[in-house]
Amino acid sequence: MHSSRAYILDRLGNSRLPVSGDQLADELNLSRAAIWKHIQALKKGGAMISAHPGRGYMLEVPVLTEGLLRARLSTRYIGRRLMLVEETGSTNQDVMQLAGQGEAEGLVLIADRQTRGRGRLGRCWHTMPESLAVSALLRPPLPPEQVPQLSLLTAVALHEALHMYAPDIRIKWPNDLLCHGAKLAGILTEMRAEPGCMHAVVLGFGINLRAPENGWPDDIHQAVTDLASASGRVVSRLEVVAAVLNALDRWYELFLQQGFAPVRAAWWQAHAASGQRVRVYDGREYIHGVAAALEADGALLLETNQGTRRIIAGDVELL
């Protein structure tokens, strides 16, 4: 984004009173006409800026900018560095590339659009202007076999943050969040490791904020929903990102201090199928049983007619 426009958004977003065009012009060393043009460009881009004659401009709905997001974060680990881009291929790929170049833990990359977004099992993840794509870099002191615990931690953090908007959100094993049975958000965790040594973990997640104006893409073959529809109110990208990152940081710090047990308990409580009959397709066959427990490596335990089965990958359907 143009630096002057980013400044204007931050300035308006941090003020509870109208800010005059003359004041913005003085602060940016620009003409009043230039300020007016920047305001019009921002409004054309979707910023809800109102003009109050004799008083100035106000930002009616906060816009996601680095400055406004930084002001809303109370994190220790997540968000040490923030990167906001309009478009990229894949936020996970970008962050993993930066990790290989020595980027420190805590980087968060947020994109308005992804052109090569991926979900679990290499599936396409659609990231449209009405969606949110975020990836965070962590370097936890974990062996590679424990990294799946961080996917479950991310689900718990998303559930906590989004639950404030829609209380009927549930976690679906292994990496989805549902609202009334429709997919609201997805998680993709990737790592750079070698035997016995983990170098970097990228936590990627996408959230449907609003329904697309032209409808959902035809190649989505499952029920989907969005946060605005689920909550019945206008949803701010800025406030959602801040809530999720703050929750993610709290759970990560708790995980480092107390291990997986608190995450495991919270995940099981928020899981849609805990103690329920489910059908799981593992790529070869359908397995019927009761979701009985979550193991430390992220495996789902099913009680079946043939005994206990460990499910490490597959699609779960609540019966």
* Residue 90, marked binder: yes
* Residue 92, marked binder: yes
Q: Which residues of the chain have pLDDT under 50?
A: 121
The boundaries of every CATH 2.30.30.100 domain in the chain are 273-318
The boundaries of every CATH 1.10.10.10 domain in the chain are 4-59
Quote the pLDDT of residue 190.
95
Task: Report how far apart the first and last C-alpha atoms of the chain are (Å, whole number).
Answer: 47
* Residue 23, marked binder: no
CATH class of domain segment(s) 273-318: mainly beta
Tell me the C-alpha distance between 210 and 130, whole Å. 5
Whole-angstrom Cα Rg for the chain: 21
Strand order in the sheet with 131-138: 81-88, 107-114, 131-138, 197-208, 182-194, 176-179, 169-172
The boundaries of every CATH 3.30.930.10 domain in the chain are 66-269
Output the six-digit token pair for 306. Answer: 């043939």
Quote the pLDDT of residue 129.
63
* Residue 119, marked binder: yes
**203 membership: H or E segment, kind and range:** strand 197-208
The answer to whether the bond into 174 is cis (omega within 30° of 0) is yes
* Residue 284, marked binder: no
pTM: 0.87
Q: Tell whether domain 4-59 is in CATH 1.10.10.10.
A: yes
Topology annotation, domain 66-269: BirA Bifunctional Protein; domain 2 (3.30.930)
Quote the pLDDT of residue 225.
92
